[in-house]
Amino acid sequence: MRIAINGFGRIGRTILRQILTLPQRAEIEVVCLNDIAPLETCAYLFQYDSTYGPFPQEVVTEDNAIRIANRLIPVSHSSDLKKLDLSNVDIVLECTGIARSSDVARRGLVAGAKSVLISGPSPAAEVTIVMGANEADLGNARVVSNASCTTNALAPLVNIIDQIGGIERAHMTTIHCYTNSQPMIDAPRGDLARSRGGAQSMVPTTSSATELIGRILPHLQDRISGAAVRVPTASVSAVDLVVQMAADMAEGDFVETLKQAVINEHVLGWTNQPLVSSDLRSRPESLVIAEPEIRVTGGRQARVFGWYDNEWGFSARMQDVAGMMGSRG
């Protein structure tokens, strides 16, 4: 499978790290990178990462390319992907974060690529896919959204719980590390609370995940509400979900049934250890359920807590969905 990465930010760089270091990604060939930043900056930020540490192989720049170990990857700096020749590309991983309009989302197709996979929610996508929830809906869509990191964590979990006990209603809180959408010290943003320094305070805000659940699992439309609290950590987030189930279940039965379902779902993980967020860095799962935090009250109210590396796990799902798209031929 031949891919191009458009936008070499947090997700674009994490995807490339995984492709170059994980044996299971060896079948992916990176044809080119495109980012408006200078070549030396792209190479430096790839080699030295504040979250995941230095890249374990040599990274050097050559004429319009980055050489990483024995791989030479061409780099372009176009603000408009349509100006590039991508006729040898199967899938563009659209990681700029700006593919909201059809014009921007489809630029990879205009440049000659077969398909585009967007690293976030986008109204321009033909379909939004979350592994472990609705991958059967992919069909022949050529412009696909991979939803958000929190949606990838939440959707497989609520899908399983709905199958176990039926979801009448639920509320999700994501305890989310700060991101580039926040200032590190107070600075104007559209949302007043989001204008406050992300490294200094816990910041209550919104989450797109609950809106997307209705798109991914339509039968749960309007049954799940949600919110977010941004916290002063650089990586790894959490989902805290409270569910009102349709059927009574004892806590032990619920835990065991949920555990077996999670073990059989490859994008989810399970731990019975008393972990903290830093223990989950670089975990590839969309969500790792923390067994010690599960509670069932009154037979029908269940609380489930799970961890997710919102960059590493999401980047892994981007490649999983890209693999499904590439296998269509």
Which residues are known to be catalytic?
A: 149
> Distance (Å, rounded) from C-alpha 142 to C-alpha 90?
10
> Distance (Å, rounded) from C-alpha 258 to C-alpha 252?
10
DSSP symbols for 71-106: EEEEEE--S-GGGS--TT-SEEEE-SS-TTSHHHHT
- Please name the residue ranges forming H helices in the chain: 10-21, 39-47, 102-105, 107-110, 149-165, 209-216, 251-263, 312-326
Spell 187-206 as b/e; 16+ CB within 10 A means b. eeeeeeebebebeeeebeee
> Distance (Å, rounded) from C-alpha 147 to C-alpha 13?
18
